[in-house]
Amino acid sequence: MAPDTFLKACRREPTPYTPIWIMRQAGRYLAEYRAIRQKTPFLTMCKTPELAAEVTLQPLRRFALDAAIIFADILLPLEPMGADLEFTASEGPVIHNPVRTSADVERLRLVEPEADLLFVLEAIRLVRAELEGKTPLIGFSGAPFTLASYLIEGGASRHYVETKRLMYGAPEAWDVLMAKLTTVTAAYLNAQIAAGVQAVQLFDSWIGCLSPADYARSVLPYSKAVISNLTPGVPIIHFGTGTATLLELMREAGGDVIGLDWRVSLGEAWERLGPTDVAVQGNLDPVALHAPESTLRGQVEAILKAAAGRPGHIFNLGHGVLPTTPVEAVSALVDMVHELSKR
């Protein structure tokens, strides 16, 4: 693989084939990942640069991926802000002291990434040294809204009742919270850039729970502030799920690449976004990796066809690869994208 294919696509420059990476490509579907995870608590993996670097590199040894993404969790900046964060086996992330009041918001600290999140920066340096410039490395962070939702709900949520209760009912507290998260997110991503990542992805994974009006009023200004405060010259991927009605607003917030989930048709979404304005990333249904190879191929062909004729498409799933995914399907997918897009 040419080392610059992914970065060229981010910049909407022509590439000899469509680059591909996979959200959560270092994850539980890999036996070698599970072997480490069984022995090591998740947060310890994140906080041990050697382990994080090793796990980051695992999928690159198996698949001809066009980018690596540093192994970390979107919630890591919340712990130094004051969140009592735990990853439980059954429930996933839990924050034992959720933020519900103005006083809770006031208590949240800003973060010094070089001190508080040094382990991520060290992992980035280790991975960059290992990769020797052969594959670009992506850094990432949760976006302010998605981070706020975890802080307020105390974990994953279905209806986001507490998040919206604060957003609707205590707009001043909401603004202070989102402003703090904006500062932290921008500083954290800039520190990752300084440590060597060559692109960053802003994960606003759960904005799909919001109406367009709520997103525009209570979220967009903060995402925009994060993006406009990042070190220039490094491509920014702006990603969310369930964003079919939010795409124009996400573009307004910014990003060189807009990440699409599988509920939108890539061709229609790119038309709405303006194909000469931004690149797009996506958008295979992660569950399609459980389908027979002929079905998978049909879906890949449809996505490549919708993106054909202009530069700026990065192939990816519409959300993270699922733990139940067969490794052979991922291998087939990566090769398929390269082969089919070279034609």
In angstroms, give the least distance from the CB of 175 to a second copy.
15
What gap in Å lies between CA 70 and CA 131, rounded to an integer? 12
Q: What is the radius of gyration, based on Cα positions, of the chain?
A: 19
> Under the criterion CB under 8 A, does residue 285 sit at the interface with a second copy?
yes
Closest distance of CB 270 from a second copy, Å? 14
Q: Which two tokens stand for residue 237?
A: 């991927």
Minimum distance of a second copy from residue 242's CB (angstroms):
6
Q: How far is the CB of 229 from a second copy (least distance, A)?
A: 28
| Candidate ranges 49-57, 163-171, 226-234, 332-340; the one touching a second copy (CB under 8 A) | 163-171
- Phi/psi-derived region of residue 232, left when phi > 0, alpha when psi is between -120 and 50, beta in every other case: beta
For a second copy, give the closer residue by CB, 39 or 165.
Answer: 165
Which residues sit opposite 201 in a β-bridge? 140, 237
Question: Exactly one of 2, 64, 161, 194 binds a second copy (CB under 8 A); which one?
Answer: 161
- Binding of residue 11 to a second copy (CB under 8 A): no
Is residue 102 at the binding interface for a second copy, with CB under 8 A as the rule? no
Evaluate whether 208 touches 242 at the Cβ level (below 8 Å). Answer: yes
176, 302, 332, 340: residue in contact with a second copy (rule CB under 8 A): 302
Q: For residue 158, give every residue at least 6 positions away whose Cβ sits within 8 Å of its Cβ, in sequence order, or none.
A: none
Helix (H, G, I), strand (E, B) or coil at 215: helix
Choosing from 17, 29, 33, 150, the catalytic residue is 150
Residue 326 within binding range of a second copy, rule CB under 8 A:
no
CB of 210 to a second copy, least distance (A): 7
Stretch that binds a second copy, among 69-77, 88-96, 175-183, 283-291 (CB under 8 A): 283-291
Q: Looking at beta carbons only, is 67 or 288 nearer to a second copy? A: 288
Nearer to a second copy, 114 or 268 (CB): 268
How far apart CA 316 and CA 309 sit, in angstroms, is 18
Per the annotation, the verdict on 28 as an active-site residue is yes
- Taking CB under 8 A as the rule, does residue 97 contact a second copy? no
Binding mask 214-233 for a second copy (x = CB under 8 A): x-------------------
For residue 318, which of 235, 268, 259 has the smallest C-alpha distance? Answer: 259
- Specify whether 37 is catalytic: yes
Q: Which residues contact 39 (CB under 8 A, 6 or more apart)?
A: none
Q: Give the CA dihedral 176, 177, 181, 183, nearest 10 degrees.
A: 10
CA separation (Å) from 126 to 4, 69, 198?
20, 13, 14
**Greatest pairwise CA separation for the chain in angstroms:** 59
Contact region for a second copy (CB under 8 A) — 49-57, 88-96, 141-149, 162-170?
162-170
* 266/300 Cα distance (integer angstroms): 11
In sequence order, which residues have a C-beta less than 8 Å from that of residue 147 and are 6 or more positions away? 74, 75, 77, 78, 181, 185
Region from 6-14, 32-40, 88-96, 263-271 binding a second copy, contact rule CB under 8 A: 263-271
Distance CA 42, CA 73 (A): 9
Residue among 167 and 334 whose Cβ is closer to a second copy: 167
Q: For the chain, how many helices (H) and strands (E)?
A: 17, 9
Please identify, using beta-carbon distances, which residue of 44 and 245 lies nearer to a second copy: 245
Q: Please identify which residue in 250, 264, 304, 307 interacts with a second copy, judged by CB under 8 A.
A: 264
Residues that bind a second copy (CB under 8 A): 159-161, 164-165, 168-169, 208-214, 242, 244-245, 262-265, 268, 285-288, 290-292, 295, 299, 302, 322, 324
